[in-house]
Structure 1
Amino acid sequence: MQLKKVFLVGPMGAGKTTIGRLLAQELNLPFKDSDREIEERTGADIPWIFDVEGEEGFRNRETSALEALSQQSDMVLATGGGIVMRAENRTLLAARGIVVYLATSVEQQVLRTSKDRKRPLLQNEDPAAVLQKLLDIRDPLYRDIADYVVETDNRNPKAVAIDIAALLANK
């Protein structure tokens, strides 16, 4: 199997980090997370970056991190949910690796993110409405660049990782 890089895209709560780590083990590749990379480069967590620099500042850092990460050797990369909002990011993802869209329902997202206080976009009265609005905008963008779409609702992360590894083995 001639693997380049595997980029996991999808909404927050889809399981990109959890499934990404398991998939990296399955494929015997290093695992990277674009949000962790941004935090390491900045020396601050994502909520702080949003507070100080706003979403635009965070998106600039995200594009810079993606540019650097996508040039590295083979890996599994979990990306932030909003990475597809910039055309240049979509171009980089599609051109430099295999893109797997981890699709999930808003209901699952709410369940998986309800106790997470490190998600700046969800710190409001109606997280489900925010998640639905984001999904309405981003789902077509995820699908546009995806080589594979894999549903994660009510599925064991290890089983999802094994399924993705099987898909990639047949590529």
Structure 2
Amino acid sequence: MGPLVVLVGPMGVGKSTVGRLLAERLGVAHRDTDDDLVAGQGRSVAELFGEHGEAGFRALEKEAVRVALAEHDGVLSLGGGAVLEQDTRSLLAGRHVVWLSMAGTEAVRRLADEGTRPLLAGGAAGRWAALARARRPLYEEVAACSVPTDGLTPAEVVAAVLETLPRRSSALPEH
């Protein structure tokens, strides 16, 4: 059957945090493909990016997403760039994908002290905005709906995501 919901969106939007809280609220497991990569490869995302380059990292990510979509039936959070791969976008077709979005100023505030995002090295605000602009059509392509996260707490984002879930589905626990 696959995941109940798949969360996509740019880095720093809160996919992992919201995913964990959403899974808890639904009484299902949460899975994060970035965590799968780190566990499977024994290195951080930044290290994998440095070692394999973006193309090599995206190939590893694509496989992690494929496996997670096949194996996981709870809430799934994807890395911000997972939608770059056409194969991944095809695998997301027909699934309940929620695009968590936010403005660049909020992203820069959230990511300012992190220092672990290889694509943001040197000029985080400009790089984030460029990535978000380039990926926006891809998020729109795969998403059943969008939930803006600006100014919301993770719990408020979870509540908004819950509102997007089809209530008539017997596969979903009551929320």
Question: Given that residues 2 and 72 in structure 2 are in contact (C-alpha distance below 8 angstroms), is that contact kept between their aligned partners in structure 1?
Answer: no
- 1:5 offset after TM fit, Å? 2.6
Q: Mapping of 1:8-157 within 5 angstroms?
A: 8-95=7-94, 97-124=95-122, 126-157=123-154
Correspondence for 1:6: 5
**For residues 1-35 of structure 1, what are the alpha-carbon distances to aligned partners after superposition, in whole Å with 9 as ceiling and x for unaligned?**
x9843110000111101111111111111001110
Name the % identity.
36
TM-score, length-scaled by structure 1: 0.93
**For residues 65-106 of structure 1, what are the alpha-carbon distances to aligned partners after superposition, in whole Å with 9 as ceiling and x for unaligned?**
0110000141111111101111111111224x3100001011
Question: Given that residues 26 and 165 in structure 1 are in contact (C-alpha distance below 8 angstroms), is that contact kept between their aligned partners in structure 2?
Answer: no
Correspondence for 2:155: 158
Provide the C-alpha distance between the structure 1 equivalents of 2:117 and 2:104, rounded to a whole number of angstroms: 15
Provide the C-alpha distance between the structure 1 equivalents of 2:72 and 2:109, rounded to a whole number of angstroms: 35
Correspondence for 2:172: none
Question: Given that residues 2 and 71 in structure 2 are in contact (C-alpha distance below 8 angstroms), is that contact kept between their aligned partners in structure 1?
Answer: no
Aligned to 2:165, the other structure's residue is in SS state helix
TM-score, length-scaled by structure 2: 0.91
- In the superposition, relative to structure 1, how do residues 72 and 51 fare at CA in structure 2: closer, same or farther (>3 Å)? same
Provide the C-alpha distance between the structure 2 equivalents of 1:56 and 1:131, rounded to a whole number of angstroms: 19
**RMSD in angstroms over aligned alpha carbons?**
1.5
**Aligned residue pairs, count:** 168
Provide the C-alpha distance between the structure 1 equivalents of 2:64 and 2:100, rounded to a whole number of angstroms: 21
Structure 1 residue runs of 4 or more that deviate by more than 2 Å after TM superposition: 2-5
